[in-house]
Amino acid sequence: MTLTGAHLTLRALEPEDLDFLYAVENNQDIWSVSDTVTPYSKAVLKDYLANAHRPIYETLQLRMVICLKQTQQPIGLVDLFDFDPKHRKAGVGIVISENTERQKGRAKEAIELLLNYGFRHLKLHQVYALVAVHNVPSIKLFEGLGFSCSGVLKSWWLTSDGYTDLNVFQRVRSEK
């Protein structure tokens, strides 16, 4: 499956993505905005890639590679996770791993493509994101995508600086 936007394509993970996935998952600079606490081996990621083709209804997750449309260079990953088909909701997560591609609207375009797919094809009712209260770029990103902050989870994530609060952002599908 490939989703195409103005500047990006989102595509399914392929076995050839092993080195890219290894670099992203083991980038400790990103760990502070994820649940990752230990490095992943190539063997573990190879097994993950071997099963990445399984349907979201089975794995409850959909991870896609964000690529520049013109060159197909991978620049990040975007996920639907914690998929709940009964209540038609999922979490969304994103990482733009290429520093030179940040602050260019890439994350917004990637999430818009994924939300369109989720709302239209998976019939999601709502999507949520958990964002650290000090992560201003991500707060602006989700607010700009029409998400509303519906609450704060106090002392929710342990980071190297201690516990931090997380904003809960939700976007409910409009029934128009």
- The answer to whether residue 14 scores a pLDDT higher than 60 is yes
Residue labelled with tokens 């794995």: 59
Domain of residue 10, CATH code: 3.40.630.30
Q: Is residue 23 part of a domain?
A: yes
pLDDT in tens, 111-125: 999 999 999 999 999
- The answer to whether residue 35 scores a pLDDT higher than 80 is no
Can you read off the two tokens belonging to residue 161? 């600086």
Q: Is residue 82 part of a domain?
A: yes
Q: Is 94 exposed, middle or buried (0-12, 13-18, 19+ CB in 10 A)?
A: buried
- Number of folded domains in the chain? 1
Q: Return the pLDDT at 160.
A: 79
Q: What are the DSSP calls for 21-78, one per residue?
A: HHHHHT-HHHHTTSS--SPPPHHHHHHHHHHTTS-HHHHS-EEEEEEETTT--EEEEE
Stretch (H or E) spanning 90: strand 89-96
117 is in which domain, residue-wise? 2-125
SS3 content of the chain, % helix, strand, coil (to 5): 30, 35, 30
Q: Is residue 62 part of a domain?
A: yes
Q: Is residue 119 part of a domain?
A: yes
Least reliable range by pLDDT among 5-14, 121-130, 155-164 = 155-164
